[in-house]
A = this chain, B = another copy of it.
Amino acid sequence: MRQAGRYLPEYRAVRRKVDFLTLCKTPDLAAEVTIQPVDRVGVDAAILFSDILVVPEAMGMELSIEEGKGGPRFRVPVRSSEDIARLRVADPSALQFVLDAVRVTQRNLRRRVPLIGFSGSPWTLAAYMVEGAGSGDFRRAKSLLYTHPRVMHGLLEKVSDTVSAYLASQIEAGVDALQIFDTWGGVLCHDEFVEFSLRYMERVVQAIRGSVPVIVFSKDGGGVLREIASIGADVVGLDWKTDIGEARAAIGNRVALQGNLDPVMLLSTPARIEEGVRAILAKFGKGEGHVFNLGHGVLPETPVENALAFVEAVKKFSPEYH
């Protein structure tokens, strides 16, 4: 999960100098903020600092992020097959700044911890491209999917090809693992999730699997875990709402599970956080195959000492179980 961010004073110091997109596109700075949580809170892996929406931008869409104005936005959303025809399957060289950030990060990390690269899932990117901006329910994207399913499939194919090539190039640049974030899979009904999100994640996983572990995280995916566990990924990420004990019982040891402390719990107290960590360890139970993590990204208002208490509690109590 995103672990660099505004809760860290050293991140805010970097952001005072550059805006969010410039940070994503400046490899030295992206590498710097990628490593900050490793130094500051002692996490066992770094996750590349970037944004999922640089992919649609590389495909030809104009992205703008106005601070404090409701998040990123595409000036001209994709709404028709003509719009889709104008998009290109992006060559990874269009995202050279990400690949450079991977190389700089690995050089500066000096193998202290592994580095995780990532991409948004094809559906999550496509939903954003159609909607044009964030949304509670992505009703425009879903409406297109219901009314013109072939148009949506056409878009998803182009996005999937781009994502597969992008992730393969991240492997080549040196990441040690990859995560696919299906942030908006949870707005779909069961059958549409399978047809429009899962199938395309499967396609990407099948295209890249083999050399590094692949993690698939589908927010609000608690009801489709068995399906997610069957697409060839090595790890299934759980959001905070899923009971990790029930998840393990449901999908057994076919895949490892990642998760899933509620990030809001990091707004409470070190004692409460320790209790929360122990509860999740006990629910997962003994045995291998648990990557402890938050169930979503760190919130900006998280006190640094609480993030630290979280990491320390995981390190302190995990050996009892694994």
Q: Measuring CB to CB, which residues of chain A are less than 8 angstroms from any residue of chain B?
A: 136-137, 139, 142-143, 146-147, 186-191, 193, 220, 222-223, 240-243, 246, 262, 264-265, 267-269, 272, 276, 279, 299, 301
Knowing A189-B241, A191-B279 are in contact, say whether A143-B223 is a contact too (CB < 8 A). Answer: no
Specify the chain B residue showing the minimal Cβ separation from A272.
Answer: B146
Give the distance to chain B from A178, nearest Cβ to Cβ, in Å: 26
Give the distance to chain B from A312, nearest Cβ to Cβ, in Å: 18
Check B223 against A269 for contact (C-beta < 8 Å): no
Complexed CA–CA distance, A188 and B220 (Å): 12
Select one of B146, B268, B269, B279 contacting A264, CB under 8 A: B146
Closest 8 CB pairs of A and B: A146-B268, A190-B243, A222-B223, A143-B267, A147-B268, A142-B264, A139-B264, A189-B262
Complexed CA–CA distance, A137 and B202 (Å): 29
- Please report whether the interface of chain A is mostly helix, strand, loop or mixed according to DSSP: helix
Check A142 against B262 for contact (C-beta < 8 Å): yes
List, in ascending order, chain B residues with CB within 8 A of A241's CB: 186-190, 193, 220, 223
Chain copies in complex: 2
Select one of B246, B264, B276 contacting A137, CB under 8 A: B264
List, in ascending order, chain B residues with CB within 8 A of A187's CB: 241
List, in ascending order, chain B residues with CB within 8 A of A240's CB: 189
List, in ascending order, chain B residues with CB within 8 A of A193's CB: 241
List, in ascending order, chain B residues with CB within 8 A of A246's CB: 190, 223
Check B139 against A267 for contact (C-beta < 8 Å): yes
Complexed CA–CA distance, A92 and B142 (Å): 41
Check A243 against B267 for contact (C-beta < 8 Å): no
Give the distance to chain B from A283, nearest Cβ to Cβ, in Å: 9
Check A269 against B143 for contact (C-beta < 8 Å): no
Complexed CA–CA distance, A20 and B301 (Å): 34
List, in ascending order, chain B residues with CB within 8 A of A220's CB: 220, 241
Give the distance to chain B from A192, nearest Cβ to Cβ, in Å: 8
Give the distance to chain B from A297, nearest Cβ to Cβ, in Å: 11
